[in-house]
């Protein structure tokens, strides 16, 4: 056939090179070409070249480069959404193929806060590792914010509002901020009759700020929200510190329901107005796309998604005690 008669495919009809999409996605997730090259075991020049080829193919700049930093352009941010899906699909396909001949193995690194371990997630994960003999697991139990990509973690379990990022988040449960007090405090002061009566009690704040007063907004299944203004007897931005202040009898405080419920079961606290609760908090699994398809990580994500919700029940269960 004469070459002149062969159809020439216009540039905009060709698919982008898959390798370049994967490399671009890793650059965006790690925040730099150098970090991406190191994590993928590729020469820096190759990483830079592939991203350049992708930009040339698309006809648009995806990453703004300066001598000090790189940042995604608006088109780059939009393309990253699709790039992550492509990488996710590729890794899922590879994972499904590998599972036919292999079982989860190697090291699994995850991080979560102390209160989640105390809620029983640590025990759940221990059972998972015991059932997968070739897995080794490292758990960083800490309230600090961990950069999963930079520090090489596979998975994080986080409570509350998540920071905007290129990571994937999967909700596994939720809990409200229910109120609790030490038994001795209840013996001395009695239980409040309603939200307004809380203002006569010593209360524990959750914010560290120069303001003298704090506010709780409490919700009820059938009544309008109630606001409680108070000067805290003590304030702390740590769940563990608030729990210890409650146990010491310093005042009524709010805790994630699953934390307070454990204290109630051990006789360290009693529920206060259990039909009222603060805003809900989501508990989420957070992971990078390229980590989430590893067999061990995938299996743990599935197990936590199916079982963690039972451990993290909301205040409805508490009110029904």
At residue 102, the pLDDT reads 59
At residue 9, the pLDDT reads 39
Residue 265: phi and psi, rounded to 5, are -65, -30
Residue 203: phi and psi, rounded to 5, are -120, 150
Q: Is the dihedral of CA 8, 10, 15, 21 positive or negative?
A: positive
Q: Measured between alpha carbons, how far is residue 13 from residues 5, 54, 58, 277 in Å?
A: 19, 14, 10, 55
At residue 321, the pLDDT reads 39
Q: What is the CATH number of the domain that holds 292?
A: 3.40.190.10
At residue 147, the pLDDT reads 85
Using DSSP bridges, classify how beta strands 177-181 and 270-272 pair: parallel, antiparallel or unpaired. antiparallel
At residue 319, the pLDDT reads 42
Q: What is the CATH number of the domain that holds 62?
A: 1.10.10.10
Tell whether 171 and 296 lie within a shared domain.
yes
What number is the average pLDDT over the span 251-265? 91
Task: Decide if pLDDT at 80 tops 90.
Answer: yes
Q: At 139, which helix (H) or strand (E)? A: strand 135-141
Which pLDDT tens digit goes with each residue over 16-49? Answer: 889 999 999 999 999 899 999 998 899 999 999 9
Q: Which residue has the higher pLDDT, 258 or 54?
A: 54
Tell whether 286 and 249 lie within a shared domain.
no
Cβ neighbors of 92 (< 8 A, separation 6 or more) are: 293
> Against a cut of 0.85, is the pTM above it?
no
The domain total for the chain is 3
Please indicate, yes or no, if residue 2 is contained in any of the structural domains: no
Of 2-6, 62-66, 149-153, where does mean pLDDT reach its minimum? 2-6
Final residue of a structural domain among 50, 82, 98: 98
At residue 298, the pLDDT reads 85
Band of the pLDDT at 134, cuts 50, 70, 90?
Answer: confident
Distance CA 214, CA 230 (A): 6
Tell whether 83 and 135 lie within a shared domain.
no
Tell whether 111 and 202 lie within a shared domain.
no
Tell whether 191 and 272 lie within a shared domain.
yes
At residue 316, the pLDDT reads 41
In three-state secondary structure terms, 35 is helix
Please indicate, yes or no, if residue 3 is contained in any of the structural domains: no
Band of the pLDDT at 151, cuts 50, 70, 90?
Answer: confident
Task: Decide if pLDDT at 291 tops 80.
Answer: no
Q: What is the CATH number of the domain that holds 219?
A: 3.40.190.290
Final residue of a structural domain among 71, 98, 125: 98
Tell whether 147 and 296 lie within a shared domain.
yes
Which pLDDT tens digit goes with each residue over 173-194? Answer: 888 889 999 999 999 999 999 9
Tell whether 165 and 305 lie within a shared domain.
yes
Tell whether 165 and 208 lie within a shared domain.
no
Tell whether 110 and 49 lie within a shared domain.
no
Task: Decide if pLDDT at 304 tops 80.
Answer: yes
Please indicate, yes or no, if residue 313 is contained in any of the structural domains: yes
Tell whether 181 and 170 lie within a shared domain.
no
Share of the chain above pLDDT 90, in %: 46
Band of the pLDDT at 315, cuts 50, 70, 90?
Answer: very low
Domain hosting residue 32, numbered range: 8-98
- DSSP letter for each residue of 246-293: HHTTS-BEEEEHHHHHHHHHTTS-EEESTTEE---EEEEEEE-HHHHT
Please indicate, yes or no, if residue 1 is contained in any of the structural domains: no
Q: 250-265: buried (b, 16+ CB within 10 Å) or exposed (e) per residue?
A: bbbbbbbbbbbbbbbe
What number is the average pLDDT over the span 216-244? 91
Please indicate, yes or no, if residue 311 is contained in any of the structural domains: yes
Band of the pLDDT at 167, cuts 50, 70, 90?
Answer: confident
At residue 113, the pLDDT reads 86
- The pair of structure tokens assigned to 151 is 């520090």
What number is the average pLDDT over the span 140-158? 86
- The pair of structure tokens assigned to 114 is 């102390």
Tell whether 196 and 223 lie within a shared domain.
yes
CA angle 134, 309, 279 (to 5 degrees): 135
Q: Measured between alpha carbons, how far is residue 148 from residues 16, 126, 155, 283, 312 in Å?
A: 28, 21, 7, 17, 24
């Amino acid at each position: 056939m004469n070459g002149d008669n062969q159809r020439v495919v216009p540039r905009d009809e060709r698919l982008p090179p898959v390798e370049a999409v994967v490399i671009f996605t890793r650059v965006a997730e790690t925040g730099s070409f150098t970090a991406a090259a190191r994590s993928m075991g590729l020469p820096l020049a190759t990483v830079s070249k592939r991203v350049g080829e992708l930009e040339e193919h698309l006809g648009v700049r995806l990453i703004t480069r300066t001598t000090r930093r790189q940042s995604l352009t608006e088109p780059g941010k939009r393309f990253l959404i699709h790039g992550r899906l492509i990488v996710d699909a590729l890794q899922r396909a590879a994972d499904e193929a590998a599972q036919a001949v292999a079982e989860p193995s190697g090291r699994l690194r995850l991080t979560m806060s102390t209160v989640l371990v105390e809620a029983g997630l640590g025990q759940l994960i221990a059972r998972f590792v015991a059932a997968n003999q070739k897995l080794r697991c490292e758990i960083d139990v800490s309230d600090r914010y961990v950069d999963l990509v930079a520090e090489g973690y596979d998975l994080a379990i986080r409570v509350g509002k998540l920071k905007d990022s290129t990571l994937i988040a999967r909700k596994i449960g939720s809990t409200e901020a229910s109120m609790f007090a030490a038994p001795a405090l209840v013996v001395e002061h009695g239980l409040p009759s309603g939200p307004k009566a809380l203002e006569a009690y010593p209360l524990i704040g959750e914010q560290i700020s120069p303001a003298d007063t704090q506010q709780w907004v409490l919700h009820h299944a059938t009544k309008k929200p109630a606001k409680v203004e108070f000067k805290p007897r003590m304030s702390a931005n740590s769940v563990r510190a608030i729990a210890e202040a409650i146990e010491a009898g310093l005042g009524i405080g709010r805790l994630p329901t699953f934390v307070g419920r454990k204290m109630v079961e051990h006789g360290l606290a009693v529920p206060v107005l259990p039909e009222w609760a603060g805003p809900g908090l989501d508990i989420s699994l957070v992971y990078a796309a390229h980590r989430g398809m590893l067999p061990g990580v995938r299996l743990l994500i599935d197990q936590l998604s199916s079982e963690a919700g039972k451990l993290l029940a909301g205040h409805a269960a508490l009110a029904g005690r």
